[in-house]
Structure 1
Amino acid sequence: MLSEQETAKDVVQEIAESTAEHVGRIAQIITGAVVGVIREIGDLASEVFEVREAGRRAVADRPPVEE
């Protein structure tokens, strides 16, 4: 039969292990979210550069205005 102290130790150990597992899963969720946000920001920046370059080409290709 287990002593009261050994039972308490087992309970604390089980709680610590469970907490570590949940914290690890939460960290994975947060890491995935951060990666997704960074990827979207990069994609947005790429689109901004493309639109800006297309605008420059459009201005450069415009025929001169006659006065």
Structure 2
Amino acid sequence: MTDGGETVWLPYPPNRVPGLPTGLSYAGRDGSAALPGDPGDVRFLVGERVLTAPGTRAGEQAA
């Protein structure tokens, strides 16, 4: 999905993310394939969601 404007790389295909604002250009990037465009054009890079065990924070290990 591309609308022009600033470029946003998402960790999922844009059609899997409901409610994305208009006026931005979106590309999915899961790290397993070639880059979806020129990294110099990217203004926002959204990282993958990090799942944690209950009672821990990202980067900590469950006891």
Give the TM-score range, shorter chain. Answer: under 0.3
Higher helix share: 1
Higher strand share: 2
Larger Rg: 1
TM-score (norm 2): 0.19
